[in-house]
Amino acid sequence: MLWNTRQIEAQLAESKGLVGYSLRAKLFPRRFWAVAVWENDESLQSFVEGNPHAGIRSALKGAMEESWFKTFDVKTEEVPIDIDEAITRVE
């Protein structure tokens, strides 16, 4: 799991349109959160559909609980967004 995270972080570092991101993991009970700020939807979709993210997501499909995504707008002054604030907005 850690190796997959490192690969995805490397992809994020090279992704056009990424403003910033934060990750949180609770290994027991295997819960993971990610919040990312993108310049636009096209940049987000390019990342989601690109590798290694797409390949890892596919490979782990049976090992992880259902994933879900929610988008919301943030103001420039809110970046970097606090992960606790992001979790509150989506849960």
Question: pLDDT by residue (tens digit) across 21-68?
Answer: 998 988 888 788 899 999 999 999 999 999 999 999 899 888 777 788
Highest mean pLDDT pick, 41-45, 71-75, 83-87: 41-45
CATH class of 2-90: alpha beta
Coil, strand or helix at 66: coil
Coil, strand or helix at 67: coil
pLDDT score, position 39: 96
CA distance 50 to 63: 20
Question: Taking the domains of the chain in order of start, what are their residue ranges?
Answer: 2-90
Question: Residue 81, Cβ neighbours under 10 Å: how many?
Answer: 19
* Stated pTM of the model: 0.83
